[in-house]
């Protein structure tokens, strides 16, 4: 239905995956003693990482290896993982859930969430700089040491940009989103509400996503705001969703900064369409009682509770037996922005900054205060869990390094990266390993015929690289096992 290229609606940058979170070790993967190793190729977001960690036994350890096709996606993965791994002492469960989902799926966020984004960006920038200067790691569970120096420089530059952003970018995000919608719909733009409703009822609902409500999906398609956790003002651009795309104009390459991600399938797919809390999928009068936002909140909180439990924070309260409408329960009046301001800027002045301005201190006390502030938000130690990020061009080189020989018990590949799979993959796969490939079920711009053709091509590629279909029922992902004679 798109007037542009076939996958214009999906965009050229994959900010979130096109399928629900999966425990990658659940699909018949043998669990020998020692460390389990999983390779993620183009996963785009940490949904599979969080889900896989939540399924670990207390005695098991896990090393996740991640390779992406863009440093902007790597930066966002680090951001979301940092929020997810923040200790309960530094960020409560409700606040963490709200911040995570807003950063995950909203083009525009609240000023409070933007403050968190800037704070985390500053800490990650400092961590990257420390690793460049001293080869030490501030956050050992998030390992960037295998990235090239120029890639770590690019990460530091991105985090610095997020840290220095101001509210002036909000208008550019609205224009960027609207420009994408206009390009995608073309002459149908004036009838966009009907187009949104058609994509929802005839495509998403037909694919089993009935819990995605018309109101929430329409709001996201119109503005890019998927999760409204409170009655706040969603007006600050989510810097983690802005990226640069290079165009050829009259023979010159021009970089244009804007929103180049998905505008059709929605971020509800990752956490909001499946759940173990079956009460959230109840229906009355052939309509779902809860929404994809309610399901997303419950699923994310379940994952965060699992992380807290593994990290030794058992005091975190568990979900109730009947999860309620969190969005309704947590609503509060819009937060006033008339608090203290920094001179010449729009951002509120933190309590620490105000205190520093009114209390003269000697050099020692100031240094101690800076050190304390720099460690104000600590990450949980998940006891044997580590996430390492590989260079963008590392995939074809893994088989040449002895450390990766027969290492991975599970390999995940996204739909956008499946063309990178080749026969060298079998040299890195452990015996009885599984290959999990994302299918095109939720790429709404594709026809049924194109979706089926893609699935056929995935099976052909898997066979070429030495994998055979596994006997599993999952129409969102194709699962394969390594041939026995390999």
Chain segment 386-430, per-residue pLDDT in tens? 999 999 999 999 999 999 999 999 999 999 999 999 989 999 999
Q: Residue 108 pairs with which residues in a beta bridge?
A: 237
Selected residue with higher pLDDT from 399 and 253? 399
Q: How many domains does the chain have?
A: 1
Angle 259-260-266 from CA coordinates, rounded to 5°: 90
What pLDDT does 328 receive? 43
Whole-angstrom CA distances from 184 to 108, 262, 443 are 20, 11, 14
**pLDDT (tens digit per residue) in 432-463:** 899 999 999 999 999 999 999 999 999 999 99
pLDDT at position 19 over 60:
yes
> What mean pLDDT value characterizes the chain?
85
Calculate mean pLDDT across residues 2-17: 77
The pLDDT, as a whole number, for residue 21 is 97
Distance CA 128, CA 157 (A): 10
Residue 168 lies in a domain: yes
Query: Does residue 374 surpass a pLDDT of 80?
Result: no
Q: What angle do CA 338, 343, 346 make, to 5 degrees?
A: 45
Under the banding of pLDDT at 50, 70 and 90, the label for residue 167 is low
Residue 432 located in a structural domain: yes
The predicted model gives 117-127 an average pLDDT of 94
Measured in degrees and rounded to the nearest 5, phi and psi for residue 164 equal -95, 0
pLDDT for 270-329, tens place per residue? Answer: 999 999 999 999 999 989 999 999 999 999 999 999 999 987 765 444 443 344 444 444
**pLDDT of 367 higher than 70:** no
Res 226: pLDDT: 97
pTM for this structure?
A: 0.85
CA gap 463, 456 in Å, rounded: 11
Q: What is the pLDDT of residues 145-160, one digit of tens each?
A: 999 999 999 999 999 9
Would 469 be classed as within a structural domain?
yes
- The confidence band for 483, taking pLDDT boundaries of 50, 70 and 90, is confident
Range of lowest pLDDT (29-38, 82-91, 129-138, 434-443): 129-138
Q: Does residue 304 lie in a domain region?
A: no
Rounded distance between C-alpha atoms, residue 376 and residue 353, angstroms: 14
Domain range holding 220? 36-243+377-482
* Burial (CB count <10 Å: 0-12, 13-18, 19+), residue 138: middle
Answer whether residue 236 is part of any domain: yes
In a domain, residue 24? The reply is: no
Span 51-78, pLDDT tens digits:
999 999 888 999 999 999 999 999 999 9
Is residue 369 scored above 50 in pLDDT? no
Q: Which of 52-56, 163-167, 236-240, 465-469 has the lowest mean pLDDT?
A: 163-167
Report if residue 363 sits inside a domain: no
Instruction: Give the strand pairing for 385-389 and 61-67.
Output: parallel
Q: Give the relative orientation of helices 149-164 and 111-134 as an angle to the nearest 10 degrees.
A: 150
- What is the residue whose two structure tokens read 């690793």? 131
Domain presence at residue 188? yes
Q: What is the pLDDT of residue 485?
A: 66
């Amino acid at each position: 239905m798109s007037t542009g290229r076939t996958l214009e609606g999906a965009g050229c940058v994959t900010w979130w995956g096109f399928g629900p979170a999966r425990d990658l070790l659940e699909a018949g993967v043998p669990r020998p003693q020692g460390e389990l190793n999983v390779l993620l190729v183009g996963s785009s977001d940490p949904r599979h990482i969080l889900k896989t960690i939540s399924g670990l036994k207390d005695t098991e350890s896990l090393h996740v290896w991640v390779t992406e096709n863009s440093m902007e996606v790597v930066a966002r993965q680090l951001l979301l993982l940092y929020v997810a791994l923040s200790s309960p002492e530094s960020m409560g469960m409700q606040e963490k859930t709200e911040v995570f989902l807003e950063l995950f799926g909203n083009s525009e966020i609240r000023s409070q969430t933007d403050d968190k984004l800037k704070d985390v960006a500053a800490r990650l920038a400092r961590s990257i700089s420390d690793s460049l200067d001293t080869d030490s790691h501030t956050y050992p569970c998030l390992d960037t040491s295998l990235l090239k120096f120029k890639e770590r420089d690019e990460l530091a530059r991105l985090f610095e940009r997020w840290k220095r952003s101001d509210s002036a970018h909000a208008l550019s995000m609205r224009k960027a989103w609207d420009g994408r919608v206009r390009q995608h719909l073309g002459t149908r733009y004036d009838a966009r509400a009907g187009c949104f409703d058609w994509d929802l009822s005839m495509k998403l609902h037909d694919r089993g996503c009935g819990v995605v409500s018309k109101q929430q999906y329409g709001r996201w398609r119109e503005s890019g705001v998927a999760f409204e956790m409170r009655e706040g003002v969603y007006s600050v651009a989510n810097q983690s969703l802005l990226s640069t795309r290079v165009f050829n104009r009259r023979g010159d390459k021009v970089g244009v900064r804007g929103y180049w991600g998905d505008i059709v399938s929605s971020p509800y797919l990752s956490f909001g369409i499946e759940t173990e809390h079956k009460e959230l999928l109840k229906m009355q009068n052939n309509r779902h009682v809860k929404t994809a936002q309610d399901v997303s909140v419950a699923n994310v909180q379940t994952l965060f509770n699992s992380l807290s439990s593994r990290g030794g924070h058992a005091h975190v309260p568990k979900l109730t037996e009947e999860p309620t409408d969190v969005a309704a329960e947590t609503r509060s009046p819009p937060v006033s922005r008339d608090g203290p301001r920094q001179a010449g800027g729009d951002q509120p002045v933190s309590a620490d900054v105000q205190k520093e301005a009114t209390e003269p201190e000697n050099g020692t006390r100031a240094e101690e205060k800076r050190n304390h502030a720099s460690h104000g938000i600590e990450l949980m130690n998940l006891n044997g869990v580590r996430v390492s990020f590989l260079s963008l061009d590392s995939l074809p080189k893994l088989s040449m390094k002895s450390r990766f020989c027969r290492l991975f018990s599970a390999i995940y590949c996204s739909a956008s990266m499946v063309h990178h799979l080749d026969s060298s993959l079998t040299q890195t796969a452990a015996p009885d390993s599984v290959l999990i490939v994302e299918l095109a079920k939720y790429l709404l711009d594709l026809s049924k015929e194109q979706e089926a053709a893609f699935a056929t091509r995935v099976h052909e590629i898997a066979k070429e690289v030495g994998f055979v279909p596994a006997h599993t029922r999952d129409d969102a992902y194709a699962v394969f096992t390594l041939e026995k004679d390999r």
